[in-house]
Each structure stands twice: as C-alpha cells, then as structure tokens.
Amino acid sequence: MTANTMRALVHHEFGDPAVVLTVEEQPLPQPGPGQVRVRTLLSAIHNHDLWTVRGTYGFKPDLPALAGTEAVGVVDALGAGVDQLEVGQRVATGGTFGVWAEHFVADAAGLIRVPDGLPDESAAQLVSMPFSAISLLHSLDLHAGDWLIQNAANGAVGRMVAQLGKARGINVVGLVRRAAGVDELRAQGIERVIATDTDDWRATLAEITGGAPINVGVDSVGGTSAGDVLSALATNGTLVVFGAMASPSLQLASGDLIFNQATVKGFWGSVVSREMPAEIKGQLFQELMGRVLDGTLTLPVSATFDLDEIGAAVAASGEAGRIGKVLLRA
C-alpha cells in the first residue's frame, strides 16, 4: 500500500457478505467542492448494510462496490469551500456509502460533529439506528402518558425506542419471541416486556397497561408477529411497519383492520431523514447526544473486528441474543 492508496472492503458480486466481501487496495479518495475526506476510526455493521451486499435492499450499488454506511472518524482533508469543519475534527456519519474502508469522502454539510465526551464506540453507531428510533417517535406525535407497543423489543432499535420513550414519558411495551429476551432487557432496566411464546401474553399486556388504550404499534418482524401487534391496538390505532426481520409479508386479521378501523403505514428512516427539516433534525440529534452522555440511552458494543476479519464480524452480527452493535476497526 502506498501513500495514495487505502484498504477497503469490496464485493464484485452480490451474495453472502462473509464470502463476497474482501479487503482490497483502493485509490485514496480526494474530496471535491463541499466535501471532506475522513480517516475512519470505527464503523458499524447494520442489517441494511448486509442486505445491500446481498442485493436485497432498496438501494443496489453498481459493482464492484464498497460497503457500509455509518462510521466515526477524523477529518484529514478539506475540499474547496468547506469552512464549517477543520482537519483533525472528529465527525460521524450515518448515510455515507462506502465507510468500511480506511478513508471515505462525505459531504461536509451532512456530517455530525462529535462532542469530546462521546466515546468512539458510541459515535460510530449514533446516527443510523438511534436517529431512526428518535425520528420514529417524533413522527408518531406521542405525548407523555401515551402507550406504544412494539415487537423485536430486544433488537437495537426496539431497545432504543424503549429507552427514548421512557425519557419522554411514553409508556412502551415490548414483545419478544422468547422468555430469555425478557430477562435480557430487564437486566438493562427495560421492564415492560412480554414473551409471546406463552398463551396468556395478552392477559399480561392488559395487566401492564391497566386497560389503557394503545394507539400505536411498531412492527419490525413481519409475519404473524405483525398481527400480534395489530391485535393489541385500540380503535383507530396505527400500525407502523419499520422492518421485516422474520418475513417480508404481514399476516394481519381482517377483523382487526376493519372493525378497529386501523391504519397501516410504512416507515423508512433514510427517506424520513432526507425529508426532515434541518432545524428538527438538529434538535433531535442534540437530544440524542444528550441522552447518550447522561446515560439515558445506552449504545453497547458486542464486539469489534478488523476489516480483514469481516467473515467473523458478519457471523457475530447474526448471533441470536446478541446485545450491542458489532463494529469494524479500520
């Protein structure tokens, strides 16, 4: 490797990320007008990154392709016209394609300045999942005392929605598919969790809510689990489809839709972020960083791997019951 090259993860075909991703030498990117080059410190592995490598996500890059979308790093070169950032400044991004590399180029206006007190491990996963969670809550227009139910409560976004909702005074009930998931979340201070592998889970839900109406449900699983969430909603309730971890289709009872006059709508974080007014986005990011710094929102790390350990990193990311994000070290 020379001074004009860098190491990066690249794939020449779509497929299993553990198989098709390899470390290659690439030209060192140069920032254009309004851009900066960032030396990567840590980057996060998200499901949507892996789906993109498989060719099954809403975004399909031209091949050969780089990978990864979220990272924290240090600015090491400025493009023409950039005056809001400086060389040596730590920044984070959640929407820059190709960050599983030693360097990446990004639009300066889209980068988040990382405060000194925020560790790299938190900054590397601050934008994508946490911002999706807080923007989801923002979009639902829930108020203190309202109730929300979600499945995949032990997933990254589910855990963040529970923590952020609690901080905002929203009552969040989480559904998980196994009893062990209840214990895992309670160990993290998240109490309102129900395992749906028991016949009486709906009775438990009624005890927790005291019969209060649940107006919003969030589905990240699909299949019959989406129907479970819908069945718990009050009349005129809204089911928000956030993900499809188990099935690309929803199994919903027509009676729950018709007689409760329910609404079903989708939520795609990248589009919501792109269309959100800059002022609102800034306010939500400030809240996020404050919640992380005061410990209200926790961003644990499960494991950290080097770029050339991508196979082990992908395997670790897919482990059942994993708590915390898997990171790559450039």
Instruction: Write the CA distances from 82 to 29, 45, 91, 171, 260, integer angstroms.
Output: 17, 29, 14, 43, 53
Q: Which of the 8 DSSP states describes residue 320?
A: T
> What is the rounded distance in angstroms from the CA atom of residue 264 to the CA atom of residue 268?
14
The β-bridge partners of 241 are 219, 266
Torsion of CA 73, 75, 76, 81, to 10 degrees: 150
What was the pLDDT predicted at 176? 85
- Which pLDDT does position 1 carry in this prediction? 60
Pair of tokens at residue 291: 């919640």
Q: Which pLDDT does position 43 carry in this prediction?
A: 97
What is the spatial distance between Cα 43 and Cα 64, in angstroms, rounded to a whole number? 20
Nearest Cα neighbor of 69 from 85, 58, 81, 80 is 58
The confidence score (pLDDT) of residue 129 equals 86
What confidence score (pLDDT) does residue 59 get? 84
Asked if 317 and 294 count as a contact pair (C-beta separation under 8 A), the reply is no
For residue 310, the model assigns a pLDDT of: 97
- Name, in order, each residue with C-beta under 8 angstroms of 165's C-beta and a sequence gap of 6 or more: 137, 142, 148, 171, 172
Burial of residue 145 (number of CB atoms within 10 Å: 0-12, 13-18, 19+):
exposed
The reported pLDDT for the residue numbered 235 is 96
C-alpha to C-alpha distances, 224 to 202, 229, 251, nearest whole angstrom: 15, 9, 5
What does each C-alpha distance from 93 to 38, 125, 207, 267 come to in angstroms?
Answer: 10, 9, 42, 20
Residues of the chain with pLDDT under 50: none
Q: Which residue type is seen at 16?
A: D
- The pLDDT of residue 3: 76
- Give which of 241, 239, 243, 272 is closest to 131, Cα–Cα: 272
Q: Are 224 and 251 in contact, with CB atoms under 8 Å apart? A: yes
User: Cβ neighbours of residue 320 under 8 Å, at least 6 residues apart?
Assistant: none
| The pLDDT of residue 278 | 85
